[in-house]
Amino acid sequence: MSDDAFNIEGADRPGRWVVTCDHATNIVPDWVNGGDLGLPTADMGRHIAYDIGALGVARGLGAALDSPVVSSRFSRLVIDPNRGEQDPTLLMRLYDGTLIPGNRHADEGDLTTRLERLYRPYHDAIARTVESRDRPVYCAIHSFTPQLRGRPLRPWEIAVLYAEDARLAASVVQACREEGWLTGDNQPYTGKLPADSVDRHAIQRGHPNILIELRQDLIETPEQQADWAGRLAPLLQRVLDASTL
């Protein structure tokens, strides 16, 4: 199922998992500044516009886990679906040292339109998908840049993020490290982001959850994305099966 704001792949799959990809694409809808935020093509291909490689991993995971995948169809620079509606970074005017010209003069009316046409329909799609599962398990897939401007290189291959509910995450961190993967435990980001997608659709509802970040240079190609999905899926299912969740 597709909409301007989201895509649902495998809605009829029977698995417990709900796989999401908040920053799946760098698409700017035509009705937003004529489909142009004023950035060069090179910048729209950077991590500031979307999570490079994450969608391919999410789709591979969903297929391997026989579970649905919900992904966004708009750039995080248009509006960031992984932020609460009151978060000041919901609509970015400056990101990793890059000015976003198309957002510079965006007003409350522009924000409301983007909320109503993109952000809320996307979250409604996730909510419906979660509600369709018996004992859902929420898995958000993201990717991180190897290096922010002026910052040190990030050594982690994979990161597992979580907030207060570490029921699933703690075991996944251990399992990843047993595989020999250099694994960040709430690094390079923390999972404690109130009103983000995981908080909204899983934590507040008591569902087991995990947010996985992969380093972008490791998932640039379809082959790399398929490889990581193929390794992650059995690990995640094994951890879930060994738990009481």
Tokens of 209: 């959850």
Structural domain contains residue 132: yes
Which CATH number characterizes residue 209's domain? 3.40.630.40
Q: Is residue 40 included in any domain, yes or no?
A: yes
Provide, rounded to the nearest whole percent, the portion of the chain with pLDDT above 70.
98
Give 96-145 as a DSSP string.
TTEE-HHHHT--HHHHHHHIIIIIHHHHHHHHHHHHTSSS-EEEEEEEE-
Kindly state whether residue 64 falls inside one of the protein's structural domains: yes
| Domains: count for the chain | 1
The range of the structural domain enclosing residue 183 comes to 6-242
| β-pair partners for 183 | 158
| Confidence band for 150, pLDDT divided at 50, 70 and 90 | low
Single-letter amino acid code for the residue at 158: I
Q: Name, in order, each residue with C-beta under 8 angstroms of 84's C-beta and a sequence gap of 6 or more.
A: 90, 194, 195, 196, 200
The answer to whether residue 211 sits within a structural domain is yes
Please indicate, yes or no, if residue 1 is contained in any of the structural domains: no
**Hey, what are 113's tokens?**
């339109």
| H helix runs in the chain, sequence order | 41-44, 54-64, 101-104, 108-114, 120-131, 169-178, 197-201, 222-242
CA atoms within 13 A on the CB side of 34: 3
Does residue 223 belong to any structural domain of this protein? yes
pLDDT of residue 97: 86
Question: What are the pLDDT digits (tens) for 62-97?
Answer: 999 999 999 999 999 999 999 999 999 999 999 888
Q: Are the C-beta atoms of 39 and 96 separated by less than 8 Å?
A: no
